[in-house]
A and B are shown apart, each in its own frame.
Chain A
């Protein structure tokens, strides 16, 4: 404890960045495990989330196998899995439902959000605004250390007799509260990870508002920082609502409340009596599980509360990616970002509209159809800032000098897939069109185009871009390109056909689609998708191999390997605790590429202007662009 205090004192008490020799005697645990260094915390988020990426990916492949070959034993692992999960080596219906629930939950809450927000937020914000660490380093450490227990609690559900949560990642009541202990661990786990998000987000806002380097105006910050800043606002406004909804569902399970439960429900099979027994009249053993206590609750209330968080959560996952992509594109096109301010206002617009569109998830839920009209119009309007961003990215590469690094390829892929994801969103935004495609594979295709094709490709791009600064080693470019090509091709082969399945009426979350005559014709297509998905999954090992190989054999990274402008590249190649070895002063915006008055094609934010002339010219250009 004493060392913790001393350590905190060091972090807060010294403003000098150069002298951090006295940090070397910090114990291994303090340095690598319970570290308050934002860079170490970012690496911890990366490690944990990449682990969960493979866990969630495995769930997805088990789901895909069942859809392609229902009832056939899973290759390799089918016969070693416990009997509660498989029968004759094939996934059971119950386990399938658990898998689809956990796939969604893990990928959203334990992969994309921690990667996009936890990892890049921690790594990029202090470096890109030119400061030594987060405003609240200790809080930052706690925000990571809630993730492992939360993840563990989430996964323990699989080992319960009744299995883990099986109400979908949306956990809709009455199914949610009327299922077993797995739902409870799911709720607790989400509560914890939400808490982690809130702690991180407050910290990001405090840091960005208070700790910017000398001379750095808000409107001189790179888009990555802007994306993360707005994301932090979304998190602090949205996540408490999710926490409240989770608490209400827990109360419905255990405290005899009925926020979401109407009266006279005939809920649950006998094995659920563990949870709902207190409510249930034990009459006829088989079916008379009638809920007599409570009542008067409204299942749709949960949907409102859940989507009030979970729709902004989509933007929590994509806005940091949009920021990353903007920075990467501009750097590798060697060109200023097109419409810097328009891009920021578009992010703000998306964030604001993101809070008033949640009802589009509920067009068929039974809410008043008048609300459907309202939400349809607000949802359709949100396509506008998204379109602005697409056009500005295209404007950024226009007349550029584009270098095709692995980072930039992933960024370009983000644009390509986000166009498709955005367009498929318009179908669903139209409430009458949504009647038919709601809860079909069209939605599954859309969400994966936005979250895999969008968020994850942006995350890959960010990993390739900042890895040199994170570890002081360059990632292998050729492996990086291979990873990109395989991922991009098989991503599209996996998820594009799902649009067609959706138009064919193929419902999501069904264990065996071929019960339905009208879906039997789609089995070959499902097999195709499954094979593409397996290749897509295995392609990700190239990334892992690349990371491990490069850590050991990678070329040492120079200070500014991409000849970029933003402040993180002013730090040493592998910055230690405290980040910078010189005082940082900011003279210009982050996108001064290919300035006509300069020999080199970049003009870092921290470089002192050479003469009065170029400075005034630069200022003139700025006022012109504004």
Chain B
């Protein structure tokens, strides 16, 4: 056990807004500025009410011989402090709604440039990704064909599914990296085959629960190349903490190169069952041990 007091106290000198991890998505800045707006309003209300509270505590502290003011209240004041917060809070609500519809409403999802499927999984605690393969079309899904070897339930009778690229990325210190292009609308179809998970991209301000039995559309548009962490934000079992994934945001060129390289691993085995793609995961990730 070690304890560095000056490091442990660093938070005390920092403004709350400086704690945000870097934002790298298009609507992320909108969410951050909404947060900031509520934050500034809250700070103002905080100082106002605390000033009143502390002033009253000091001014009206007990003094012998003084009698308190016999007063039951005033309806005008009640109306005032009912209406003012109503307008303030209703304003915040209406202001928020735009960003909410933009980020979550299915019909507001922009035309995707890239679409992938993502599953959270509990047996090993990680993420499964599916890219449509060289033909650019996902194979049909059949829920009855779901198994641990074929987590997406890709219909074996659909030829489009033969070349689908499935990446299984166990969590922990060294997850399998997945790539996506920057400045493109990325659509993620999100689900799970076991329990609830939550697909959380802190830098993209994206969070959406993965619900078994239901495919949910999540979209974002990354603005900066780099290496970003994927986290799970919904308790999914004792390995919940370990559901770390890695997302590499590439330029279109680098992304295409990576994709080609991945397909080369799949292509020689096009005739084999799709489930063999799990071998990729095994080949690229040798360890899932946790690090402290």
Residues of A within 8 A of B (CB): 69-72, 75, 92-94, 96-97, 166-168, 172-175, 178-179, 262-269, 284, 286-288, 290, 297-300, 333-340, 342, 364-366, 369-370, 372-373, 376-377, 380-381, 383-384, 387-388, 390-392, 394-395, 397-404, 412, 415-416, 419-420, 423-424, 426-427, 429-433, 435-440, 497, 499-501, 503-505, 507, 509-518, 524-525, 527-528, 531, 591, 593-596, 601, 621-622, 624-625
A-B contact pairs, 28 of them (CB 8 A): A93-B239, A93-B242, A172-B195, A264-B193, A267-B194, A267-B195, A268-B194, A286-B148, A300-B214, A335-B69, A342-B78, A373-B100, A383-B85, A394-B56, A395-B73, A436-B31, A438-B207, A440-B233, A507-B200, A509-B240, A510-B240, A511-B240, A515-B242, A524-B8, A525-B11, A594-B68, A596-B70, A625-B73
B198→A595 contact, CB < 8 A: no
Task: Report how far A382 CA is from B111 CA in the complex, Å.
Answer: 37
Task: Report how far A287 CA is from B146 CA in the complex, Å.
Answer: 12
B72→A340 contact, CB < 8 A: yes
Task: Report how far A383 CA is from B88 CA in the complex, Å.
Answer: 10
Given contacts A392-B73, A435-B206, A524-B8, contact A398 B60 (CB under 8 A): yes
B71→A517 contact, CB < 8 A: no
B60→A397 contact, CB < 8 A: yes
A288→B72 contact, CB < 8 A: no
Given contacts A338-B71, A373-B101, A400-B68, contact A365 B89 (CB under 8 A): no
B81→A387 contact, CB < 8 A: yes
Task: Report how far A286 CA is from B66 CA in the complex, Å.
Answer: 78
Q: Give B284 Cβ to nearest chain A Cβ, in Å.
A: 19
Q: Please indicate the chain A residues that have their CB under 8 angstroms from the CB of B66 in the complex.
A: 401
Task: Report how far A92 CA is from B241 CA in the complex, Å.
Answer: 12
Of the candidates A178, A381, A419, which one forms a contact with B90 in the assembled complex, judged by CB atoms under 8 Å apart?
A381
Of the candidates A401, A437, A591, which one forms a contact with B63 in the assembled complex, judged by CB atoms under 8 Å apart?
A401
Q: Please indicate the chain A residues that have their CB under 8 angstroms from the CB of B232 in the complex.
A: 507
Apart from A264-B146, A300-B211, A335-B70: 12 A-B pairs, beta carbons within 8 A: A167-B235, A174-B196, A268-B194, A269-B123, A299-B213, A336-B73, A342-B73, A372-B104, A400-B68, A439-B198, A505-B202, A601-B68
A500→B92 contact, CB < 8 A: no
- Among the 9-residue stretches B16-24, B132-140, B157-165, B259-267, the one with 4 or more Cβ atoms under 8 Å from chain A is B16-24
By beta carbon, the residue of chain A nearest B291 is A515
A412→B147 contact, CB < 8 A: no
Task: Report how far A269 CA is from B125 CA in the complex, Å.
Answer: 12
B69→A400 contact, CB < 8 A: yes
B1 near A: Cβ within 8 Å? yes
Binary flags per residue of B22-61, CB closer than 8 Å to A gives 1, else 0: 0000000011001100110110011001101100110011
Q: Please indicate the chain B residues that have their CB under 8 angstroms from the CB of A266 in the complex.
A: 121, 123, 146-148, 151, 193-194
B229 near A: Cβ within 8 Å? yes
Q: Give B155 Cβ to nearest chain A Cβ, in Å.
A: 14
Q: Please indicate the chain B residues that have their CB under 8 angstroms from the CB of A342 in the complex.
A: 73, 78
Interface positions of B from 187 to 245, Cβ below 8 Å from A: 193-196, 198, 200, 202-203, 205-214, 216, 229, 231-242, 244
A376→B97 contact, CB < 8 A: yes
Interface positions of B from 91 to 113, Cβ below 8 Å from A: 92-93, 96-97, 99-101, 103-106
